Amino acid sequence: MLKIALESLGCSKNLVDAEIMMGILNKKGYKLTGDFEDADVILVNTCGFIESAKQESIDTIIEFANLKETGNLKLLIVTGCLAQRYSDELKEEIPEIDAIVGTGSYQNIDEILEGLQKEKQIVSLNDIEVVYNENLPRYVSTPEYMAYLKISEGCDKHCTYCIIPKLRGKQKSRKLEDIVAEAKSLVQNGVKELVVIAQDSTMYGSDIYGEARLPQLLEELAKIEGAKWIRIMYSYPESITKELVDVIKRNDNICSYFDMPIQHASNKILKLMNRQTTKEELLSKINMIRSAIPDATLRTTLITGFPGEDEKDFEELVEFVKKVKFDKLGVFPYSREEGTAADKLPNHLEQEVKEERRDVIMMIQQSISEEINQSKIGKTYEVLIEEQIEDNVYIGRTQYDAEEIDSIVYVKSHTTLDPGEFVDVKINTALEYDLMGDIQDELTK
């Protein structure tokens, strides 16, 4: 039987698609391997969101294509957003690709692989409005103590810089009971942290129930025995309601973590981005969250150098960042993407200006982060251990940090700790972004 290796790029939502493909192939009897040199088949699940992600995807495809000469590779399959967006270009420019599978076709990966026994260069671009098939198996590839829980696909927002609706279609929510059933299954298999994901988590259910039902979904997930942490990602600020905040406040196993990408703070730029909010509304929402949950972590992402962003708009964004003091913040220079409304806007800025503005905000945030971390010295936090890096030193994170995105805690312990174990850690050192501390129990001995 063929040996299959997977490389999944881009976001966690893309990773879940990849895990379903691997689940389908695993059920069909194919052998899954992490050794790309030895693999007969390599799947590259690509991202096509912004220019840097596209380039990473292309570089990865070319790197693996070379294994047809130097390794055991017989079939190279490209899936995901880049495949959906640039199927013709990929087919023409990288002839080593044997199949191109769009975002509406990944559920048919077994049939496509079987078809490659008879023909080459299959291109499968099915309807992107296909509804999630609840009966498909999933091969979870994340550490056994955490898993992503995709609650919907697609997006009904039309931010002018974003290509996602064209690649993933309209919002398609899963039924609440199906999500809860999958969550229970994951927890029964050892998962302690459920990370709720969607293109727009806060609008979950609005397409099938006539109203957003994220609060109701979270209430049901919180009841699952063994679900230690439930984390919500991709919460659009305009859809964060008092009801949602109250549910998070009421349930100890729902992380007080708000991942709310605001993108900008100038009303002029927010309007050009077609964001459904204003600076004043953003401040009101942030104040509402912090009033209800004083220790809540607020995470956001920003875009610098959007078309038409002048010095006044940028200064307004800088002042907003200084005033709000987000706990976590990422900044991306605007990426011009063909097929988006923003591409046609006037007054595009030079790349150098976009990057300079990004760097200015990141330096401000570095100081804010260090100040916030300094305030944590002497406090004790529950830390999820993820790996050992040297004798008596481990890496972990608190409920206020998402995996592979946010900060880490260096934990010193004289006893052996296992990945997935929760320990109380007293912080003794604050770095710019990360923390260091000792096991609380050992300090009292």
Known binding-site residues for [4Fe-4S] cluster equal 11, 47, 81, 155, 159, 162
Tell me, what CATH number does 388's domain have?
Answer: 2.40.50.140
130 within some domain: no
The distance between the two most distant Cα atoms of the chain, rounded to a whole number of Å, is: 68
10 within some domain: yes
299 with 404, same domain? no
Q: Mark which of 323, 351, 374 sits at the end of a domain.
A: 374
Residue closest to 151 by CA, chosen among 47, 265, 233: 233
Give how many domains the chain has, as a whole number. 3
15 with 111, same domain? yes
Tens of pLDDT, residue by residue over 173-188, are 999 999 999 999 999 9
Q: Mark which of 358, 374, 390 sits at the end of a domain.
A: 374
3-state helix, strand, coil in the chain (%, to 5): 40, 20, 40
Rounded mean pLDDT, 55-72: 94
Backbone phi and psi for residue 157, each to the nearest 5 degrees, phi listed first: -75, 155
341 with 226, same domain? yes
43 with 98, same domain? yes
140 within some domain: no
208 with 273, same domain? yes
* Residues above pLDDT 90, as percent of the chain: 93
Alpha-carbon distances, residue 303 vs 50, 55, 284, 357 (angstroms):
12, 19, 21, 9
Please determine, for residue 27, whether its predicted confidence score (pLDDT) is greater than 60. yes
Altogether, the residues listed in the chain come to a count of 445
173 within some domain: yes
**Residue 183 near residue 148, CB atoms below 8 Å:** no
315 with 199, same domain? yes
pTM of the entire predicted model: 0.95
* Residues above pLDDT 70, as percent of the chain: 99
Tens of pLDDT, residue by residue over 125-145, are 887 777 778 999 999 999 999
Tell me, what CATH number does 75's domain have?
Answer: 3.40.50.12160
Residues contacting 78, CB < 8 A, separation 6+: 43, 44, 46, 61, 90, 97, 99, 100, 101
176 with 291, same domain? yes
139 within some domain: no
299 with 190, same domain? yes
Helices (H), 170-233: 176-188, 206-209, 214-222
322 with 434, same domain? no
Residue closest to 324 by CA, chosen among 259, 265, 386: 265
222 with 348, same domain? yes
342 with 389, same domain? no
**Residue 211 near residue 237, CB atoms below 8 Å:** no
327 within some domain: yes
Mean pLDDT, the chain, rounded, equals: 95
Tens of pLDDT, residue by residue over 329-361, are 999 999 999 999 999 999 999 999 999 999 999
pLDDT of residue 442: 59
Known binding-site residues equal 11, 47, 81, 155, 159, 162
Q: Mark which of 323, 358, 374 sits at the end of a domain.
A: 374
CA 393/CA 415 separation, integer angstroms: 10
Owning domain of residue 109: 3-124
260 with 316, same domain? yes
